[in-house]
Structure 1
Amino acid sequence: MFLNNINSNFLVLVPTINIKNKIVKKPLRNVISIALKNFFSNLNNSDLKNVYNYFLNEVEQPLLDVIMQHTRGNQTKAASLMGINRGTLRKKLKKYGMN
């Protein structure tokens, strides 16, 4: 299954309360966009390199953690759910000390 077929309304963070005390659910991509804008606005002219890898690592570790919890540690199911090879999953888990 491709992510393009998934309704992004399911990819929401925990509801937050906005200024008008109204509960708002934001699609995950919107929240990530806000976080990225905040990150770049607070760089203070730092000379960053490998930003792509930095952000992949920031997202990948909690993704792996939640998926492993969801599959109750079953690496075969987790790899299938992620659409990756089980060996690749094992490498990623080892990378983050989650094996």
Structure 2
Amino acid sequence: MSKESIEDVVKKSLEKYFRDLGEQLPTNVYDMVLATVEKPVFETVMARAEGNQSQAAEILGINRNTLRKKLQQHGLL
């Protein structure tokens, strides 16, 4: 059984998104992708860190204050 990389899954999802748009011109794709991907990343890492924000920030490679801001933005606090 071959496993798809995250990159492959994102690429296939974007290709489907563009196909589904048909003739419509896509806009704000970058922001849409980041917003779509960020929340599950934070949820998964916070679960892995068992709610420890310092550990989650270290796993993510970001500042703890940045993590708190992102958690608040996504309604995860």
Match of 2:66 among 69, 81, 88: 88
Let me know the Cα RMSD of the aligned residues.
Answer: 1.2
2:37 is matched by which residue type in structure 1? V
- Moved >4 Å (runs of 4+): none
Greater strand fraction, Structure 1 or Structure 2: 1
Structure 1 position 98 matched with structure 2 position 72: no
Match of 1:40 among 18, 23, 30: 18
- Larger of the two Rg values belongs to structure: 1
- Unaligned residue ranges in structure 2 (runs of 5+): none
Cα offset, 1:47, TM superposition = 3.9
| Aligned equivalents of 1:86, 1:61: Cα separation in 2 | 16
Match of 1:52 among 6, 11, 30: 30
Greater helix fraction, Structure 1 or Structure 2: 2
| Aligned equivalents of 1:70, 1:52: Cα separation in 2 | 27
TM-score, length of structure 2 as denominator length: 0.91
| Aligned equivalents of 2:46, 2:13: Cα separation in 1 | 25
TM-score, length of structure 1 as denominator length: 0.72
Equivalent residue number for residue 20 of structure 1 = none
Identity of aligned residues (%): 38
- Unaligned residue ranges in structure 1 (runs of 5+): 1-22
